[in-house]
């Protein structure tokens, strides 16, 4: 077994905490956050020592009607600047671009003119060639890049090795292991992370992990993969994110030993902004319907529909999942 990197008492200076609240949380409220919310989160993240803040997607306005979504689905340069100005802080700014859902050749200006630091390219395993094309484009524009391979729990080992080899040979800076369905246990998340780290070490790439909390394991899986050397760690305030949500930033910052991280500003943000958001009716977080799709290693879409319908007949839902396996 690969050795752990550091221990429960040590500081891991290679760790980068990435706040994905607006991006993954935006999937819960159609990206309709107020400017005050985003501004206060930005300020709280800076005070808490967060390393990157992801503002949302840069989705194609040809494919998605801007009138039907909040602005953080598109992350116009001007909209980000209206929050961060020139971002005179140590925290970096990220956006996500999905393979097949963005106009990457038209919609990104050179890094030298942009306040964005990192472009995260999200793809499924069969889209790696398209992801590499995007990575190279963003790299040429001067951005840091990551490739976030989603739904890794449904990819087979050969596919993953081939993808890691292709990304290893690309210009990408960070390769992400993404547990889209929240179906990993710490033991298999750790095993897979070690595989990613093997390629990361070979090719000089950092490895990241993005969790979902379907089985209440988002935080556990995050710190397990971290213990072997994963260094880019996604988290969100109050674990806000699609379906069962993500790794809670408050759990992660409370765990990390680096004194640069500070829980207090985040707690203030949560009580002043996350609690009212939840009280307003935006729904996310661990519940049994998400546990079931996680246990069965499948997309949470049926659980999301169950939630939207305010159902609680878990046993009937379980039967329906087993009937449609």
Q: Which residues bind to a second copy, rule: CB under 8 A?
A: 1, 4, 7-8, 185-188, 213, 215-221, 223-224, 227, 248, 250-251, 254-255, 263-264, 267-268, 270-271, 275, 288, 291-292, 295, 312-315, 318-319
CA gap 21, 127 in Å, rounded? 25
Cβ proximity to a second copy, 305 vs 322, nearer residue: 322
Contacts of 75 (CB under 8 A, 6+ apart): 55, 56, 57, 58, 95, 116
Question: Are the CB atoms for 100 and 60 separated by under 8 Å?
Answer: no
Nearest-approach distance from CB 131 to a second copy, in angstroms: 29
* Nearest distance in Å: CB 55, a second copy: 25
Alpha helices in 49-94 (DSSP H): 77-84
Q: Which of 199, 203, 147 is nearest to 177 (CA)?
A: 147
As measured in angstroms, the least distance from the Cβ of 299 to a second copy is: 17
User: What CA–CA distance (Å, rounded) separates 269 from 237?
Assistant: 8
The minimum distance between CB 139 and a second copy, in angstroms, equals 36
The pair of structure tokens assigned to 309 is 């319908």
Query: Of the two residues 19 and 173, which places its CB atom closer to a second copy in the complex?
Result: 19
Chain-centroid distance, C-alpha 284: 15
How far apart, in whole angstroms, are the C-alpha atoms of residue 227 and residue 229?
A: 6
And the tokens for 155? Answer: 């990819």
Residue among 36 and 187 whose Cβ is closer to a second copy: 187
- Closer of 169 and 216 to a second copy (Cβ): 216
- Select 150 or 237, whichever has its Cβ closest to a second copy: 237
Q: At its nearest, how many Å lie between a second copy and the CB of residue 313? A: 6
């Amino acid at each position: 077994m690969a050795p752990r990197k550091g221990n429960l008492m040590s500081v891991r200076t290679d760790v980068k905490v990435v706040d994905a609240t607006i991006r993954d949380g935006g999937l819960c409220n159609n990206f309709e956050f107020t400017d005050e919310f985003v501004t206060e989160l930005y300020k709280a993240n800076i005070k808490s020592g967060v390393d990157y803040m992801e503002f949302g997607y840069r989705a194609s306005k040809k494919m998605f009607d801007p009138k039907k979504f909040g602005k953080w689905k598109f992350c116009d340069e001007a909209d980000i600047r209206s929050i961060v100005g020139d971002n005179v802080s140590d925290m970096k700014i990220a956006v996500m671009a999905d393979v097949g859902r963005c106009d990457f050749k038209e919609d990104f200006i050179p890094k030298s003119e942009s306040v964005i630091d990192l472009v995260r390219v999200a793809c499924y395993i069969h889209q790696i060639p398209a992801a590499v094309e995007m990575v190279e484009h963003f790299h040429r524009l001067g951005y840091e890049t990551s490739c976030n391979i989603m739904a890794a729990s449904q990819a087979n080992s050969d596919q993953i090795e081939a993808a890691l080899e292709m990304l290893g040979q690309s210009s990408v800076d960070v390769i992400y292991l993404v547990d889209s369905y929240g179906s990993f246990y710490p033991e298999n998340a750790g095993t897979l992370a070690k595989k990613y780290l093997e390629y990361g070490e070979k090719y000089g790439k950092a490895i990241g992990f993005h969790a979902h909390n379907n089985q209440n394991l988002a935080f556990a899986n995050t710190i397990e993969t971290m213990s072997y050397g994963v260094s880019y760690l996604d988290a969100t305030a109050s674990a806000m994110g699609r379906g069962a949500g993500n790794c809670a930033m408050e759990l992660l910052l409370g765990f990390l030993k680096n004194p640069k991280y500070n829980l207090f500003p985040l707690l203030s943000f949560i009580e002043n902004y996350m609690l009212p958001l939840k009280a307003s009716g935006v729904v996310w977080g661990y519940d049994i319907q998400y546990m079931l799709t996680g246990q069965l290693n499948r997309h949470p879409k049926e659980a999301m529909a169950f939630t939207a319908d305010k159902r609680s007949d878990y046993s009937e839902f379980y039967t329906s999942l087993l009937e449609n396996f």
